[in-house]
A and B are shown apart, each in its own frame.
Chain A
Amino acid sequence: MSRRFTPKVVTANRLREGDVVYLAADDRWTPHHHEAELIEDEAHAQMRLLHASSQRLEVVGAYLADAKAGANGPEPTHFREAFRTRGPSNYFHGKQADLTSPRA
């Protein structure tokens, strides 16, 4: 028997900047994990991944990452994905710095 499908988000890196992004339900690429579309159905997940992979001028290396529903939207379940939402732990660089600016 195949394993039960666990909820996913589609994530990738932006082609030009390399920044981590997530696919939202309205097809936007968002830097915020909590704005991602939480996908609960395996077939839909594959469709969304195909859609993401076709955007060759936008993103690189799209894949499905485990996630769970949270108070403000999807949250990562694995520490690697949690790090990807923030940036490195040794410097205040990456998303943790970029996303504190008012624009983001």
Chain B
Amino acid sequence: MYSYSDFDEAFVRARVAQFTHQVERRLDGSLTEDEFRPLRLMNGLYLQLHAYMLRVAIPYGTLSPRQMRQLAFIADTWDKGYGHFTTRQNIQFNWPKLPDVPAILSALADVEMHAIQTSGNTVRNVTADHFAGAAADEIEDPRPYAELLRQWSTDHPEFQFLPRKFKIAITGAPHDRAVTKAHDIGLRMVKNAAGETGFEVIVGGGLGRTPMIGMTVRDFLPVEDLLPYVEAVLSVYNTLGRRDNKYKARIKITLHETGKEEITRLVEERFAELRPLFGGNDQKLLADIREAFAPPAFRNAPTEAFDAFYKADPVFRAWADTNLAAHRNDQYAIVTISTKAHGQTPGDATSDQMRLIADLAEAHGHGDIRISHEQNVILPHVHKSDLPAIHAQLLKAGLATANVGLVSDIIACPGMDYCALATARSIPIAQEIATHFDAVKLEHEIGPLKIKISGCINACGHHHVGHIGILGLDRAGVENYQITLGGDGSEDAVIGEKTGPGFAYDEIVPAIDRILRAYLDLRAGPEETFLMAYRRVGMEPFKTALYGAEGSRNAA
């Protein structure tokens, strides 16, 4: 794992000291709220519906056990004993008090963490494939590049006042688990004909009120050109991006207004200027960073214990079938710990659960923990012989729900239960969908399905790329939920299509039930997933299920 250099350490400590003084000056009246607000946002502190909220960066979703324990300590000391993992691999604390925030930031700095650039019109936390360094299908661990991007983008003087926020995602695997096509810049590692490694550079993806799938501006960028090229993209965007209209300020709009060809030309032109200026220092840095991401010393041991347990214990078997993924070492598995127990808040973990996860990672997981954008926790390197012990411990802590990739493994933004921007609630919808399909025992019958819920048009819950997307709106002073179908956040990314009129709060779970019963009726067989079936039959049968034969025609 990457450890802070003296430079990182000094920078983060200096920022904590600076913000500590800013908070003092706000509390004694020297700073007005208008003056203080941009300063607190630069340090991840929002004022939400009921309280302040602190958003802490988890760079590329990677945590050490020590860091996880510190998050638990913060939750217990200054919050209400839990944290919320977000769709950008961050953690949010929902109840901090302003005078305590400097102490929280100091506690974070003690474990090489911070909340810098988790808000504002800057390059945000770089997200990565949560299976990075472990996945069987991976070309190369993308995290050294993510760390290089983190160092380059943190406090980058040219990019502190971009037209709008800027999100970068990176994956080293052909199967895209990082939603790269819905980011301002998506980086997908690829090999060229000569067998060299590089990046496909995708620009201008994004969700929000104008959802767009990104466009490939470079099919193959040699890995050593990463920083100058990304800097060129940012530089062109910083010049052309609109500052007159917040809703047209993201790079996806710049791209569409300028045209892909012209943008590509400008980026390449700027890249030609920038590339010689880097002078190889970035590559020296990258070489050092790479060492920090060397794979762990994998154990070589028998895996029969796993096989025996798998045969003997149906609860373990169900969990293994859904929550394990293929590791590049076939004695190992990638464990996804579901934070989506039926009826619980997606992405929430109590301090006790955090400590247990830290203990398990230390005892059985080579000290590596990941947070996924799907709001689950990952132990990326677990020897199969340790899986029964891990499962037993998770079971006791309410963390062994066998639902990864199923109907109750829902992404949900905080919605109007916390967020000041939300137009409707999302958490209770997720809770009710999960408990409903658990109660009617259809979860495993329905099979692979991604439901994603956002409580407003900004789409933090990624509803556009949910196989079933739910968007909560305020329609004439009442919560109303719009459904989209057929969205996909993978390498085949697609924006979902609206079904028609929305549904009231108490109608939305029955509506989802009708969609999924229609799917069960029309699918070719259990091997045809919801998304495959939707692609085969289209919208019509689902519209009929939702609105009736008459309503389906009206809604069309």
Contact = CB atoms under 8 A, between A and B. Distances in A.
Interface of A: 13, 15-20, 56-57, 60-61, 77-80, 83-84, 87-91, 93-95
A99 B458 CA distance: 32
Interface in B40-79: 47-52
Given A13-B47, A90-B417, A18 B477 contact: no
A16 B33 CA distance: 12
Interface stretch (B91-99, B132-140, B156-164, B362-370): B91-99
B50 A88 contact: yes
Nearest to B425: A89
Given A16-B97, A18-B52, A90-B345, A56 B33 contact: yes
B428 A89 contact: yes
Contact of B98 (A16, A61, A91, A94): A16
B47 A60 contact: yes
A88 B417 contact: yes
Nearest to A88: B417
Interface string B96-131: 011100000000000000000000000000000000
A94 B79 CA distance: 12
Contacts of B170: none
Given A16-B97, A60-B47, A88 B479 contact: no
A87 to B, nearest CB: 5
Given A18-B48, A88-B427, 15 more contacts: A16-B98, A17-B51, A18-B52, A18-B98, A19-B51, A20-B49, A61-B33, A83-B49, A83-B417, A88-B50, A89-B427, A90-B345, A90-B428, A90-B431, A94-B50
Contacts of B427: 88-90
Interface of B: 26-27, 29, 32-33, 47-52, 80, 94-95, 97-99, 345, 416-418, 425, 427-428, 431, 474, 477-479
A19 B49 CA distance: 9
A57 B29 CA distance: 6
Contacts of B32: 56
Interface centre among B48, B418, B479 (most CB of A within 10 A): B418
A16 B99 contact: yes
A84 B420 CA distance: 10
Interface centre among B51, B80, B428, B479 (most CB of A within 10 A): B51
Contacts of A61: 33, 47
A18 B479 contact: no
Contacts of A87: 50
B51 A16 contact: no
Given A79-B478, A89-B417, A60 B51 contact: no
A95 B95 CA distance: 12
A94 B80 CA distance: 10
7 contacts: A15-B27, A15-B98, A16-B99, A77-B477, A87-B50, A88-B417, A89-B425
A17 B27 CA distance: 11
A63 to B, nearest CB: 11
Given A56-B32, A93-B95, A84 B417 contact: no
